[in-house]
Structure 1
Amino acid sequence: MTRTVAEKRADFCALHAKGCFVLPNPWDVGSARYLEGLGFKALATTSSGYAWSLGRPDGALSRDTVLAHLRDLVAATDLPVNADFESGFGADAQGVAESVRMAVATGVAALSIEDSTGDPAHPLHGIDVAVARMRAARAAIDEAGGDVLLVGRAENFFAGRPDLDDAIARLKAYSEAGADCLYAPGIRTREQIAAVVAAVAPKPVNLLVGSASELTLQDIEALGVRRVSVGGAMARSAWGGFIRAARGIAEQGRFDGFADAAPGNELNAFFRSAGRQP
């Protein structure tokens, strides 16, 4: 069955009403379809994972390249797709609005806007500028029908400014500016997570689990988190296996790095049954 964009967006909105779900991050059509086959209920793109697949660092891809990637993933799966839309691909609020309109047109069910600048000397937008950009994204979504969720991201912990109070202040401001879901990637402790959840309640919170963690999904749900994403961690895991195998050959002349390789016949059988062409 092929679901319409409207149906996928409605499904995604409903997932945020209660409980906690995992939003894994594929980096191409194959990984998206495999995750769908495992029974996940929604997917999210990863800017880093996709950039690495093209031989580029995270943040180096053009808006057009990212939009084409979003269209490919939306077409490849019946699951809702949440777009990692980086900082909105706009120099100012007007530019963000223009880019968001283009992203909505790809059929995504949600998109996130970061408050990072890409400038190491001043890694975060001032809160007034960041709020204006969020409001512009909200207005662009509303003009297109309003059924795409907007995720507001406070990048403090990723941008070398690990100030929880500032991150919470930013998230609250983004919520007031129209963000439907709030996200502070890099928070890890129970205390940090609980503080963010309480600060923006009743709006849902996304938690990034990008490395091995003592917290289980049940623990995370008990803290009040509505959704969990893994960012580039699955792509990094795949790269880890590739690098170990490649280095074993290049440096030691050994091939035992293939010991955990997925059987080709299993992959062929899965993708044969997965069916649809994008």
Structure 2
Amino acid sequence: MKTELARRLRELHERPPLVLPNAWDAGSARAIEAAGAQAIATTSAGVSWAAGVEDAGGLNRTTAIAAVRAIVAAVSVPVTADVESGYGDVEATVAEVIEAGVAGINLEDSDAGALVDPAVHAGRIAAARAAAVAAGIDLVINARVDTYLFGDGTGTIERAKIYAEAGADVLFVPGVVDAPTIRELVDGSPLPLNVMAGPGAPAVTELAALGVTRISVGPAITTAAYALAAAAAQELLTTGTYRTLSAT
């Protein structure tokens, strides 16, 4: 079953665009699958918030993998897991999420809000690929490049080339939503491009026309869900009415 899910996820990349709504727990994953998603991505930010901790450093490997395990168990479609920068031991982390049943991973090239040397991240990718080979899984490795999140994008394509050589399958560049930059990345990258979309970004059809292969939304759905919960609770506790709930 694990090998079949990995094969299905890889095949979905060959029929772009692959649209990946991001889940943060088993319930959200089921809702996303019921909406018609062919695959599901997790969001480390959403998983962190669901666990009551801050994103970017608050989540530990045990909690992250437990969330991944619950999400995979709740759905029948392939799941690709956000494992941040590997929680200190990329090979062990990837081995565990593969055992949990994931078909792909998202691995980022920053730590504590700063970019790491591309050679360091290439080593992480190679370690992830080694864990996948050892498990007999054709894992889809999405290499996240944070050059636009923590800088002006300098070196993005150079990093993509290094990561491709290390065994990455997809280039993920969050923080980019303007069409000209997206087109440059599509044209220059040796890997198919994953864009993190959301309000203010081009629509899925426009991104596909630009050549984007994979589209995810990061924590956007989680943020919207929690905003709804907060607004409904505030209305209930102040005016005692239910307009927010009736709007869903």
Q: CA deviation at 1:250?
A: 4.3
SS in 1 for 2:208: helix
Aligned counterparts of 2:238 and 2:161: Cα–Cα separation in 1 = 51
Amino acid at match of 1:204: P
* Mapped pair 1:126 → 2:113: no
Instruction: Kindly indicate whether residue 46 of structure 2 is the aligned counterpart of residue 49 of structure 1.
Output: yes
Matches within 5 A, 1:106-117: 106-117=100-111
3-state SS of the aligned residue for 2:154? helix
Match of 1:77 among 59, 75, 78: 75
Let me know the Cα RMSD of the aligned residues: 1.7
Give 1:231's match in structure 2, choosing from 218, 225, 235: 218
Picking from 142, 159, 165, the partner of 2:133 is 142
| Whole-angstrom CA distance in 1 between matches of 2:120 and 2:80 | 24
* Aligned-residue identity in percent: 36
Kept in 2, the 8 Å contact 1:164–1:192? The answer is no
1:26 to 2:23 alignment: yes
1:40 match = 37
Unaligned 5+ residue runs, structure 2?
none
Distance in 2 between the 1:168 and 1:32 partners? 33
Which of 84, 95, 98 is the aligned partner of 2:92? Answer: 98
1:151 aligns with 2:142: yes
Write out aligned runs for 1:156-167 (5 A).
Answer: 156-158=147-149, 160-161=150-151, 163-167=152-156
Greater mean alpha carbon deviation, residues 149-158 or residues 248-257:
248-257
SS in 2 for 1:164: coil
Q: CA deviation at 1:225?
A: 0.9
Residue in structure 2 matched with residue 276 of structure 1 by the alignment: none
Tell me how far 1:35 sits from its aligned partner.
Answer: 1.3
Q: How far did residue 251 of structure 1 move? A: 5.0
Q: Which structure has the bigger radius of gyration?
A: 1
Aligned residues: 247
Alpha-carbon distance between aligned partners in 2 of 1:39 and 1:242, rounded to the nearest angstrom: 24
Higher deviation after alignment, 129-138 or 230-239: 129-138
Q: Hey, what does 1:178 align to over in structure 2?
A: 167
Is this contact kept in 2: 1:24–1:230, CA < 8 A? Answer: yes
Match of 2:232 among 225, 242, 245: 245
Separation in 2 of the partners of 1:96 and 1:136? 6
Contact 1:115 1:124 (8 Å CA) reproduced: yes
Query: Which has the larger displacement, 216-225 or 192-201?
Result: 192-201
**How far has the Cα of 1:177 moved from its partner?**
1.1
Structure-2 separation of matches of 1:20 and 1:55 = 33
Q: Which residue of 2 aligns with 1:259?
A: 246
Structure 1 stretch 129-138 or stretch 60-69: which is displaced more? 129-138
Q: Secondary structure at the match of 1:165?
A: coil
TM-score by length of 1: 0.83
Letter in 2 for 1:258: L
C-alpha distance in 2, partners of 1:236/1:61? 17
DSSP 3-state at the match of 2:110: coil
Deviation at 1:256, TM superposition (A): 2.8
How big is the shift at 1:77?
0.7
Question: Which structure's residues are more often strand, by fraction?
Answer: 2
User: 1: CA distance between counterparts of 2:188 and 2:165?
Assistant: 12
The residue that corresponds to 1:273 in the other structure is none
